[in-house]
């Protein structure tokens, strides 16, 4: 059986084609770009909510897309354990649709930030991180204006192993200089309780080819390789 | 403002009385008010280039001898064939006047406009570049406000539409205090087939005219005539001419347009910009040798009760006009429906060669389709300014501080320091094409996915040099911008320009324009670079103080690199390697940062260009590239070559032992040698074992190459061979380089 | 004369003639699609609440207007300033 992945195209998504390129051409898994109104969960084994500015990020990033019929479809996948990843704006949508807890607020600097950062793997058991090593530091770029993670229930998040990534230095330290947007506890990405759904602000699809990486790394591939492997195991 | 008599009523128009008479002569009758509005806008300086056209004739055919040029000047964008079935479109234009009043929306809608120009060539916009000019930031809240919100406007619009901003340039100078410059450039990529599907003309009678995108409102009526006047002439009432940008709708227009073009049923495409529907329909039919009937009330309006005049001339953002084959109308409309875009079939083309617009039963426009583009031209007087002799004669005073202090001041100066504060706010990576990113090279380098080809793009010019000598300054700008793409390993393929000048009715201001155009034309023809497009912004002049901006003929170059291994970057790679300088340094401190930062001088002898020497250096570099002899390359720009060396040290925290004993063969003063901004020089890093080979090649190509030092691991630069020893700590230099703009802006 | 503390609520929004893409999108893509078609118009803006000392309500309003103009808290080219409420604290 061939594995099929959907990248959902919300109005205003702009990293949709990038994700499709990496999945199809770099990872080599059959991936379709699907307009949000046309998305049917039954056709796919996994789904990517890509980055961008869905509905212009008007009102609040992710809030209008969270009401798209695509999220009702995705909710079925969430329940039956199929893998779902939200990248950047996709993460904002997952939060607004309450797939994931917390909130993403405007960056501390009040400015959009585009730069390569380092994140440390905290939970390497999820559908998208099981090919990573715990405490491994990944080089990956961010590009967002509203990415400051906040929750009023940090303790529970930590106890449930829902913190997946933290911003760190290259050597894995949590200095404030390593936290680009002022996220609570340096949190860069989280998952649901069942660990089949993750959201993160950094862009793995921009870090999957050595040609695009300042240091020639391809850490972004680990996300998608993990997803494919996770799907294969589920199917078996 | 002129008063003319229209059917017994007095009407205010921007055109002259003579132009009004010409309208009547063309039509053989009095125009209707809607027609007159159309002529008034289309014959404005901004739309018709009536002052610049006679001079721009020089560029005519400048692209003709190049088989890879698919579209040249006069089109919405220049287009070149880059092989493998791909076409590259690019254009640069100005949005100066709106940005000076409302920097955020002015800059944002500037980006919106340039994206539309590229999109209407049928290709996907893949990169933006923005050269900017402001007054000095230090102690100037107004300049800080403009700078902050222009950058934010560009960032919010570019980021939201998913088009990476891969480059740009900014200069701060007193002359831009009241007239900032916001120039915007865009590059588009598509297949040659896509491009051929979307000509900007309606050449086939019987096709549908479809309007798609945002609704037509009262915003922006007369935006164009407004841009053709100086700011100080303008009243408060003119001000709502500034538009509100809507990047989300633009993103949807991009996707819907590209998908519609892919259906193969689109036969023509035009964006609605200055002059609105009037401009779009008349250009489509006029250029296509057809005519059209338009039903005005089919246009979807944003507010009730709009007059025919308002609907035809509204410049509401985010709209596109399509010419659609009859058999494909349903297919194309289905695409628009998928994206939930508003659209309306507003008319049909015919073979009448006349544009007829009906408001219900009433014929409100009935003009030959070509009439609007037949504006009269003006031959403007030109005169070299008297003050130039005095400026050029200025001598460099003896420095009162030591060279170390001078270099530190220079590297921290507004025009030389790091612009990271700007490009961190731009998403410069979306699209997964950015291989050489902002701050890592002289140009932005993008890959063409699916090929082993890379494009390199850079934009800029030195306004201070152009102020002293616009002819040499424009040529120098070309040397510099071509040098940027060459430093990254590319060959310059084509050029577009954006001419920013003062009031063309003032002979001194027009002289600057005239000489700059001559300089660009002469250089491009000699060095065989096709000029494929241009834009002119006049009236950047402060009427009260009677000062124009410093002449700024912005130049954008697009280059091509074949093969990933042939991309060169600027950071030093290994200690022990040689540091070589290509090209001699002449006593050319005129218009330099050294003069303005250290001596508060604007004059002196500016750099001049020797095309033969420049060409020899480029060919020499290509030869070195082919033989894989270059590890790093950075072209020498503002502040002179020591600044260049320091920038090459920064990324990998290297240092350099510099010895200038053998290089000062022109017997220059220390400051002349170090800080002259002689154009066309490069600093390259090479392996010591290749030195002999490089020297031999240099002789063969008749190029001056000198070893001036060695890369070292300790992060410091030491310079010998001058009247004083100079030692610079790289970490301290980097700190100075990085902190200037954040310190001025983060208050 | 002793100064009085006022709490002043102001809103900044686009001029009526200027477009408001944020509000248009909220109305079209959220409210109307989710069935709230009773909504005929939405306008967006920013809200600020400022406490200050002044001699009188008039003076307080003057100060707020001057402050917002001088510091470009709003841009009069595209936006309007509304003083919604002035309350004594």
ipTM score of the complex?
A: 0.96
CATH architecture of C4-88: 2-Layer Sandwich (3.30)
CATH of the domain at A222: 3.40.50.880
Residue B344's Cβ-count burial label (10 Å; 0-12, 13-18, 19+) is middle
| Neighboring chain B residues of C72 at a CB cutoff of 8 Å | 145
Nearest CA in chain C to A66: C30
CB burial string B378-405: b at 16+ within 10 A, e below: bebebeebeeeeebeebebeebeeebbe
**DSSP, res B273:** -
| Neighboring chain A residues of B423 at a CB cutoff of 8 Å | 114
CA distance C68 to chain A (A): 20
- The domain spans of chain C are 4-88
Backbone angles phi, psi at A152, to 5 degrees: -95, 10
**pLDDT of the residue at B747:** 60
Q: Which of A15, A41, A73, A203 is catalytic?
A: A203
The chains found to touch A (3+ Cβ pairs under 8 angstroms) are B, C
Question: The domain containing residue A70 runs over which residues?
Answer: 4-235
Q: Which residues, in sequence order, are bridge partners of residue B343? A: B212
Q: Is the pLDDT of residue C42 over 90?
A: yes
* Residue B46 annotated to the active site: yes
**pLDDT of the residue at B235:** 40
Dihedral (Cα; C55, C57, C61, C67), 10-degree rounding: 30
With contact defined as beta carbons under 8 Å apart, do B415 and B422 qualify?
no
Of A12, A112, A205, the CB nearest to B248: A12
CA distance C31 to chain B (A): 15
CATH of the domain at B206: 3.90.650.10
Backbone angles phi, psi at B238, to 5 degrees: -70, -20
Q: Which residues, in sequence order, are bridge partners of residue C69? A: none
| Neighboring chain B residues of A13 at a CB cutoff of 8 Å | 162
Q: Does C19 touch chain B (CB under 8 A)?
A: yes
**pLDDT of the residue at B242:** 67
Angle at B272 between CA B182 and CA B44, to 5 degrees: 65
**pLDDT of the residue at B571:** 96
CA distance C87 to chain A (A): 29
Q: Is A73 helix (H, G, I), strand (E, B) or coil?
A: helix
Question: pTM of the full predicted structure?
Answer: 0.94
- Of B413, B418, B417, B428, the closest CA to residue B154 belongs to B428
Residue pairs between chains A and B whose CB atoms are closer than 8 Å: 84
**DSSP, res B329:** H
Q: Which of B46, B97, B105, B599 is catalytic?
A: B46
Of B160, B246, B429, the CB nearest to A206: B429
With contact defined as beta carbons under 8 Å apart, do A87 and A147 qualify?
no
CA distance B304 to B480: 52
Residues of chain A under the 50 pLDDT cut:
none
With contact defined as beta carbons under 8 Å apart, do B287 and B323 qualify?
no
CA distance A75 to chain C (A): 18
CA distance B213 to B269: 13
With contact defined as beta carbons under 8 Å apart, do A174 and A143 qualify?
no
Cβ–Cβ of B248/A56 closer than 8 Å? yes
**pLDDT of the residue at B75:** 84
CA distance B55 to B58: 6
pLDDT along chain B (747 residues), means of 10: 80 87 92 90 88 90 88 89 96 94 93 94 96 96 95 97 97 94 98 88 94 86 52 43 84 96 94 88 93 95 86 90 97 97 97 95 93 86 96 92 96 97 97 94 96 97 98 98 98 97 94 97 96 94 84 98 96 97 97 96 96 98 97 97 97 97 92 97 98 97 97 97 95 97 88
Q: What part of C 25-54 touches A (C-beta under 8 Å)?
A: 25-26, 29-30, 33-34, 44
Cβ–Cβ of A206/B338 closer than 8 Å? no
Domain boundary among B341, B371, B401: B371
Cβ–Cβ of B160/A57 closer than 8 Å? yes
- Of B595, B393, B557, the closest CA to residue B481 belongs to B557
CA distance A216 to chain B (A): 11
Cβ–Cβ of B424/A113 closer than 8 Å? yes
The chains found to touch B (3+ Cβ pairs under 8 angstroms) are A, C
| Neighboring chain B residues of C78 at a CB cutoff of 8 Å | 102, 105, 240, 242, 244
**Which residue of C19, C25, C33, C43 to mutate against A (max A Cβ within 10 Å)?**
C25
| Neighboring chain C residues of B105 at a CB cutoff of 8 Å | 78
**pLDDT of the residue at B231:** 45
Q: Does B11 touch chain A (CB under 8 A)?
A: no
CA distance C73 to A125: 49
What is the enclosing helix (H) or strand (E) of A93? helix A89-96
Backbone angles phi, psi at B675, to 5 degrees: -115, -5
Residues 6+ apart with CB under 8 A from B121: B71, B75, B76, B77, B79, B87, B89, B188, B190, B195, B198, B200, B269
Q: Does C20 touch chain B (CB under 8 A)?
A: yes
| Neighboring chain A residues of C29 at a CB cutoff of 8 Å | 11, 55, 64
| Neighboring chain A residues of B160 at a CB cutoff of 8 Å | 12, 14, 53, 56-57
Domain boundary among B371, B388, B411: B371
Residues 6+ apart with CB under 8 A from C38: none
CA distance C62 to chain B (A): 22
List helix spans (H) across C1-89.
21-25, 57-70
Cβ–Cβ of C22/A58 closer than 8 Å? yes
Residue B305 falls within a domain, yes or no? yes
Question: The domain containing residue B622 runs over which residues?
Answer: 569-747
- Would you say how long chain B is, in residues? 747
Q: Does B248 touch chain A (CB under 8 A)?
A: yes
* Residue B142 annotated to the active site: no
Dihedral (Cα; B97, B101, B103, B104), 10-degree rounding: -120
Cβ–Cβ of B426/A114 closer than 8 Å? yes
CA distance B94 to B36: 26
**Which residue of C12, C14, C15, C18 to mutate against B (max B Cβ within 10 Å)?**
C18
Residue B6 falls within a domain, yes or no? no
Of C19, C21, C77, the CB nearest to B101: C77
Query: Is the sign of the CA dihedral B359, B363, B365, B368 positive or negative?
Result: positive
For the beta carbon of residue A59, count every other beta carbon within 10 angstroms: 17
Residue pairs between chains A and C whose CB atoms are closer than 8 Å: 25
| Neighboring chain A residues of B248 at a CB cutoff of 8 Å | 11-12, 53, 55-58
**DSSP, res B216:** B
What are the CA-CA distances from residue B64 to residues B68, B125, B145, B498 (Å)? 10, 25, 44, 20
Nearest CA in chain B to A16: B431
| Neighboring chain A residues of B161 at a CB cutoff of 8 Å | 14
């Amino acid at each position: 059986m061939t594995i099929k992945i959907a990248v959902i195209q919300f109005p205003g998504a702009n990293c949709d084609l990038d994700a499709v390129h990496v999945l199809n051409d770099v990872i080599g898994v059959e991936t379709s770009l699907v307009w949000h109104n046309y998305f049917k969960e039954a056709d796919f084994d996994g789904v990517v909510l890509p980055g961008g500015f869905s509905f212009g990020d008007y009102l609040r990033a992710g809030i209008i897309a969270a009401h798209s019929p695509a999220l009702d479809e995705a909710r079925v996948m969430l329940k039956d354990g199929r893998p779902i990843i939200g990248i950047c704006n996709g993460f904002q949508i997952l939060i607004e649709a309450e797939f994931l807890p917390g909130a993403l607020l405007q960056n501390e600097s009040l400015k959009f930030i585009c730069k390569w950062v380092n994140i440390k793997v905290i939970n390497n058991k999820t559908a998208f991180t099981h090919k990573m090593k715990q405490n491994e530091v990944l080089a990956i770029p961010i590009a967002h204006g509203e990415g400051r993670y906040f929750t009023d229930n940090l303790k529970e998040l930590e106890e449930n192993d829902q913190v997946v990534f933290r911003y760190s230095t290259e050597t894995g330290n949590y200095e404030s200089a390593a936290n680009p947007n002022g996220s609570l506890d340096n949190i860069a990405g989280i998952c649901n309780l069942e660990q089949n759904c993750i959201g993160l602000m950094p862009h793995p699809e921009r870090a999957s080819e050595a040609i695009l990486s300042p240091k020639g790394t391809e850490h972004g591939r680990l996300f998608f390789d993990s997803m494919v492997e996770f799907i294969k195991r589920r199917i078996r | 403002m002129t008063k003319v008599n229209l059917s017994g009523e007095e009407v205010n128009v921007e055109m002259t009385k003579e132009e009004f008479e010409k309208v009547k002569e063309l039509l053989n009758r009095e125009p209707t008010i809607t027609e007159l509005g159309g002529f008034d806008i289309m014959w404005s300086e901004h739309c018709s280039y009536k002052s610049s056209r006679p001079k721009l004739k020089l560029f005519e055919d400048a692209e003709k001898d190049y088989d890879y040029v698919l579209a040249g000047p006069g089109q919405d964008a220049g287009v070149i064939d880059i092989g493998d079935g791909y076409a590259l479109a690019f254009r640069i234009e100005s949005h100066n006047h709106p940005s000076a009043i409302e920097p955020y929306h002015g800059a944002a809608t500037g980006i919106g406009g340039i994206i539309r120009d590229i999109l209407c060539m049928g290709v996907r916009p893949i990169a933006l570049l923005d050269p900017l000019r402001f007054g000095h930031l230090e102690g100037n809240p107004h300049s800080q406000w403009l700078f902050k919100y222009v950058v934010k406007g560009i960032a919010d619009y570019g980021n939201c539409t998913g088009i990476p901003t891969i480059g740009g340039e900014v200069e701060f100078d007193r002359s831009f205090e009241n007239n900032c410059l916001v120039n915007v450039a865009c590059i588009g990529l598509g297949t040659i087939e896509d491009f051929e599907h979307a000509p900007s003309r309606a050449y086939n009678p019987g096709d549908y005219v479809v309007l798609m995108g945002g609704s037509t409102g009262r915003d922006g009526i007369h935006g164009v005539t407004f841009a053709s006047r100086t700011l100080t002439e303008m009243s408060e009432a003119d001000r709502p001419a500034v538009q509100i940008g809507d990047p989300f709708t633009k993103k949807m227009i991009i996707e819907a347009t590209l998908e519609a073009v892919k259906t193969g049923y689109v036969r023509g495409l035009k964006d609605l910009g200055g002059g609105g529907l009037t401009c779009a329909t008349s250009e489509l039919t006029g250029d296509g040798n057809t005519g059209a009937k338009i039903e005005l009330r089919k246009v979807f309006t944003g507010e009730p009760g709009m007059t025919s005049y308002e609907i035809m001339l509204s410049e509401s953002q985010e709209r596109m006009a399509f010419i659609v084959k009859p058999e494909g109308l349903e297919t194309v409309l289905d695409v628009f429906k998928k994206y939930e875009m508003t659209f309306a079939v507003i008319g049909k083309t015919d073979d009448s060669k006349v544009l007829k617009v009906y408001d219900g039963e009433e014929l409100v426009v009935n003009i030959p389709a070509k009439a609007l583009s037949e504006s009269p031209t003006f031959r403007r007087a030109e005169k070299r300014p008297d003050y130039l002799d005095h400026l050029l004669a200025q001598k460099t005073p003896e420095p009162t501080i030591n060279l170390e202090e001078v270099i530190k001041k220079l590297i921290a100066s507004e025009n030389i320091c790091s612009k990271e504060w700007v490009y961190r706010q731009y998403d410069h990576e979306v699209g997964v094409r950015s291989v050489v990113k902002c701050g890592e090279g002289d140009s932005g380098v993008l890959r063409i996915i699916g090929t082993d080809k890379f494009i390199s793009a850079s934009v800029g010019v030195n306004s201070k040099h152009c102020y002293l000598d616009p002819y040499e300054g424009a040529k120098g700008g070309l040397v510099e911008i071509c040098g940027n793409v060459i430093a990254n390993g590319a060959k310059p393929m084509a050029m577009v320009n954006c001419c920013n000048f003062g009031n063309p009715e003032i002979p001194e201001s027009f002289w600057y324009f005239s000489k700059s155009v001559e300089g660009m034309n002469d250089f491009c023809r000699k060095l065989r670079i096709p000029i494929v497009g241009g834009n002119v912004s006049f009236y950047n002049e402060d009427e009260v103080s009677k000062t124009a901006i410093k002449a700024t003929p912005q130049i954008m170059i697009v280059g091509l690199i074949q093969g990933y291994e042939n991309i060169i970057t600027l950071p030093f790679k290994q200690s022990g390697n040689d540091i070589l300088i290509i090209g001699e340094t002449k006593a050319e401190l005129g218009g330099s940062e050294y003069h303005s930062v250290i001596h508060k001088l604007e004059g002196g002898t500016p750099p001049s260009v020797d095309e033969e020497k420049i060409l020899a250096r480029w060919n020499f570099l290509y030869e070195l590239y082919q033989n894989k002899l270059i590890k790093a390359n950075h072209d020498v720009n503002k502040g002179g070559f020591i600044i260049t060396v320091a920038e090459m040290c920064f990324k990998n925290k290297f240092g350099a032992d510099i010895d200038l004993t053998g290089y000062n063969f022109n017997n220059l003063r220390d400051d002349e040698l170090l800080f002259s901004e002689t154009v066309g020089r490069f600093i390259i890093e090479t392996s010591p074992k290749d030195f002999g080979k490089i020297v031999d090649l240099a002789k063969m190509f008749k190029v001056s190459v000198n070893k001036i030092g060695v890369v070292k691991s300790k992060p410091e630069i030491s310079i010998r061979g001058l009247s004083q020893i100079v030692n610079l700590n790289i970490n301290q230099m980097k700190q100075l380089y990085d902190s200037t703009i954040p310190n001025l802006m983060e208050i | 004369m002793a100064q009085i503390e006022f709490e002043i609520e102001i809103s900044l929004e686009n001029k009526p003639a200027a477009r408001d893409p944020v509000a248009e999108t909220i109305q079209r893509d959220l409210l109307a699609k989710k069935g709230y078609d009773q909504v005929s118009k939405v306008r967006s803006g920013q809200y600020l609440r400022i406490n200050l000392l002044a001699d009188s309500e008039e003076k307080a309003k003057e100060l707020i207007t001057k402050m917002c103009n001088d510091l470009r808290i709003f841009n009069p080219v595209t936006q309007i300033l509304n003083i919604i409420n002035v309350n004594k604290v």
